[in-house]
Amino acid sequence: MATRSEVKQALRQQWIETPSWAYGNVGTRFKVFKAPGAARDAYEKVDDAALVHRLTGVAPSVALHIPWDRVDDYGRLAKHASDAGLRIGAINPNVFQEDDYRLGSVCNPGPRVRKKALDHLLECVDIAAAVGSPAVSLWFADGTNYPGQDDIRSRQDRLAEALQAVYEALPAGVGMLLEYKLFEPGFYTMDVPDWGTSLVHCLALGERAKVLVDTGHHAPGTNIEFIVAQLLRLGRLGGFHFNSRFYADDDLLVGAADPYQLFRIMSEIVAAGAHLPGAGVAFMLDQCHNIEEKVPAEIRSVLNVQEATAKALLVDREALAKAQSSGDVLEANSVLVDAFSADVRPLLAELREEMGLDPDPLAAYERSGHREQVRAQRVGGSSTSWGG
């Protein structure tokens, strides 16, 4: 079992990336509730992300979504982030929000639409180079609603062709993350419905193409930690979009529905030594704050990932291995349950004080005056994000 100091040392190095879109007005398929003081552009989103990092100490990067975060000068945006103590994280193209994409983007039966989508993906590769991003993160809404609507194999060929073009355009040091989703908006087929499909395409591309696991993109009851373990074993786990689901792709705060699942996932990560930045696994949030306040919601999510990681670090690996090798089923399970049941909040509060942070980031946010400040300053304009 890791000592208290070893747990703290590992947690000091944790890196959790927050998404720019979480700070703007985003919502469900049905309604977006406009929030006073919500970030209206990429610069304000970076400012909010920087505040989350200052309060938690472990969120030093922010992902961008294009075109929601499109600016005239990406070098200036990167400098703005650097001045605020951040770096720009993954670049996320959007090829699902325009009328042209009704039948798909890179898998569309029409060559004009496929070219349009590919041009946007290549634009995002250029943006990644301009801001020093480590990855282009791809999710496709492409799919079909009816049997016979399109040829399934042909759509896979079109997808492979587009992915190859993007992969070949990647600058040195920039990777590709390919996300999958079980259903929605395609209800008969999705062109990247599962981790296996994503993995097949990544293996065909090369070592810099890896699978992105969104914790809300699976069927009910899916054993996500098994997927994580298998991808770790193959060296193809690129990262996570952490959120929480009750029914479908709910995009709620990570750990809200099943904190034990989050712990089990992190236990596999820690067991493989993949919890530190040097392992190359990106821990990113992907959430949609529609009825809750945005900045404190992101803080809460960061804290939830921290707590799950701390508990995973407390698993007695020696006792677990001994129970597993001897076939002691109940003892092996008890080792995990004991670690999950530990209250790690005092340890994390102590760690934050050692890092020069407030031991309670949410209380610190309440005292910061940020809420009142942005509500007074961010008046007019519109938020550039989903439904904004």
Per-residue pLDDT for 388 more than 70?
no
Q: Which residues, 6+ apart, have CB-to-CB distance to 34 below 8 Å? A: 25, 383, 388
Q: Kindly indicate the confidence band of residue 380, based on its pLDDT and cuts at 50, 70 and 90.
A: confident
41-68: average pLDDT? 98
Q: Which residues, 6+ apart, have CB-to-CB distance to 219 below 8 Å? A: 182
pLDDT of residue 123: 98
Supply the DSSP string of 261-307, one letter for each residue: HHHHHHHHHHHTT-SSGGG--EEEE----SSS-HHHHHHHHHHHHHH
Tell me, rounded to whole angstroms, the distance of Cα 256 from its chain centroid.
16
255-265: average pLDDT? 97
**b/e sequence 232-260, b meaning 16+ C-beta within 10 Å:** beeebbbbbbbbbbeeebbbbbbbbbebe
Please give the single-letter amino acid code of residue 316.
Answer: D
351-376: average pLDDT? 97
Q: Kindly indicate the confidence band of residue 385, based on its pLDDT and cuts at 50, 70 and 90.
A: low
pLDDT of residue 377: 96
304-314: average pLDDT? 98
The DSSP bridge partners found for residue 284 are 17, 241
DSSP 244: B
3-23: average pLDDT? 96
* In contact, 75 and 31? CB cutoff 8 Å: no
pLDDT of residue 328: 98
Per-residue pLDDT for 382 more than 90?
no
Mean pLDDT across the chain:
96
- Check residues 1 and 75 and name the one with the higher pLDDT: 75
Q: Is 190 helix (H, G, I), strand (E, B) or coil?
A: strand
Cα→Cα distances 385→38, 94, 140, 176, Å: 11, 10, 17, 23
pLDDT tens digits for range 167-177: 999 999 999 99
pLDDT of residue 1: 75
Distance CA 74, CA 131 (A): 6
pLDDT of residue 387: 60
Please give the single-letter amino acid code of residue 86.
Answer: L
pTM, two decimal places: 0.96
pLDDT of residue 319: 98
pLDDT tens digits for range 134-180: 999 999 999 999 999 999 999 999 999 999 999 999 999 999 999 99
pLDDT of residue 177: 98
pLDDT of residue 29: 74
> Domains of the chain, with CATH numbers?
14-312 (3.20.20.150)
Q: Is 350 helix (H, G, I), strand (E, B) or coil?
A: helix
Per-residue pLDDT for 384 more than 70?
no
Q: What percent of the chain has pLDDT over 90?
A: 94
Q: How many CB atoms lie within 10 A of CB 113?
A: 20
